[in-house]
Amino acid sequence: MSQPRQLDSPLYRLLREENISGFNAQRPMDVEVDLSGGDFRGLDLRALDAQGINFTDAYFRGTDLRGLDLRHSRLEGASLAHAQISGTYFPADLSADELLMSVNFGTRLRYRTR
């Protein structure tokens, strides 16, 4: 697992600039968007269409994720330290305890294996 990083991607830059409507308009809907390992610290992503985004190993410290639907996003290894998650849908394979550990202590998310 590597440290969070700035990604070399026009779509990533739109998110870093908090141009969520621009991201939603430009993202391809028929393929997965790979933002794995990205640094999303402190951003307001509330209006993001997150379906089909690969956030594996991403870093969301202090990020506003309220109301997002992340059920069809990949979050394995992501950290939600101190993120705002009220009203957020998460993949069913992530337990509430796993999410709380990540929000409260910054642990990396692990999907249930049984």
Candidates 100, 66, 102; CA nearest to 86 is: 66
Residue 24 token pair: 């939603």
Rounded-to-integer distance, Cα 91 and Cα 93, Å: 5
* 75 close to 51: Cβ distance less than 8 angstroms: no
pLDDT tens digit string along 4-41?
Answer: 789 999 999 999 999 999 999 999 999 999 999 999 99
* 62 close to 41: Cβ distance less than 8 angstroms: yes
pLDDT tens digit string along 63-82?
Answer: 999 999 999 999 999 999 99
pLDDT tens digit string along 84-112?
Answer: 999 999 999 999 999 999 999 999 999 98
Residue 5 token pair: 């990083």
